[in-house]
Amino acid sequence: MSPGTTTAELLDGNDASAALDLLATLVLDAEARRAWLVKRDSEDMSLLFDEVFLLIGGLRGDSNWEVDLLLSELGCNKRGKEELEGLEFSDLESCCAFLTWITELVNRAPDQQTKRALIATASCFYADAGRELESCKTATAVPVAGDHLTPAMLIELGEIGTAFQFAKRALANAVGERAREVDRANPFHEFPKVHIRTPTLDALIQLSYGTPGASITFERAGRLSLHLRRCDPCEAAYKSREIALGFDPSPPPISFKPLPAFA
């Protein structure tokens, strides 16, 4: 909204710059939102629009991003007055379902850094899945072949990249076939999988030994510590990294107790 622009001018489209990005204003300005919603064609449309605005607002709080950046990461390109008012009921239902799915996944992530990574990565994954939300839900909820963890469980550990790398293998399209082909070409394909990336293991080790500058939150460290006690390949990888970083791998100096993950 340009300086001096009133809510009425914004909603009537008299302010050209604001009309091009009305969505951000409606998310942030409760007065403008109420005035705009009351002009919708039906109560059902108003309710759906309101839910979309609230979901975007919630993700803004989770990520602590400015609205414009959040909308870009979500892949939202319909932000202007004419675009919003031209949306069909089915468009809003799809948008609402997508934002609800993203929000459910974000609630699983252990900290703000991984929430941000999740929003961006899940949006790209949605595009890779041909914008078929049910395929996305299935792919993130089922274990990868030969493994015991689902991508959603990996999200709880903060391993966002690994989670969606695994999820791609469950897609029944060209993207999924390519992901499975890459996995089959891996010479360690048949070996038990390590779920935690080397940088994450190194950060966890540094935090465990009190090394300054460890870039990992305590909550995430607790979840990872619990996972290590349950997963032999990841525990072996952790001990290997301890040796590589010059630490004695036994016994571990700190045992983290995580808060319960979102269910």
CA gap 140, 152 in Å, rounded: 6
CA 23/CA 163 separation, integer angstroms: 31
Tokens of 9: 């001018």
Residue 163: per-residue pLDDT: 95
What is the model's pLDDT at position 262? Answer: 47
Buried b (16+ CB within 10 A) or exposed e, 55-65: bbbebbebbeb
* Mean pLDDT of the region 90-94: 94
Backbone phi, psi, residue 52, to 5°:
-60, -45
pLDDT of residue 1: 47
Average pLDDT in the chain? 87
Distance separating alpha carbons of residues 263 and 104, to the nearest angstrom: 10
Tell me, what's the pLDDT at 261? 52
* Span 2-20, pLDDT tens digits: 444 555 555 655 554 555 6
Residue 4: the pLDDT is: 44
Average pLDDT for 228-242:
93
The Cα–Cα gap between 80 and 20 comes to 4
% of the chain with per-residue pLDDT over 90: 70
Taking the domains of the chain in order of start, what are their residue ranges?
1-106, 133-193, 194-263
What pLDDT does 3 receive?
45
Q: Using 50, 70 and 90 to split pLDDT, how confident is the model at 259?
A: low
User: Can you give the pLDDT at residue 248?
Assistant: 79
- State residue 247's pLDDT score: 87
Q: If we measure between CA atoms, which residue out of 248, 206, 258 comes closest to residue 228?
A: 258
pTM of the model: 0.84
pLDDT at 11 (0 to 100): 60
Contacts 24+ apart (CB under 8 A), 200-206: 200/158, 200/159, 200/224, 201/237, 201/238, 201/241, 202/241, 202/245, 204/238, 205/238, 205/241, 205/242, 205/245, 205/247, 206/245
Each residue of 121-150: pLDDT tens digit? 999 999 999 999 999 999 999 887 667 899
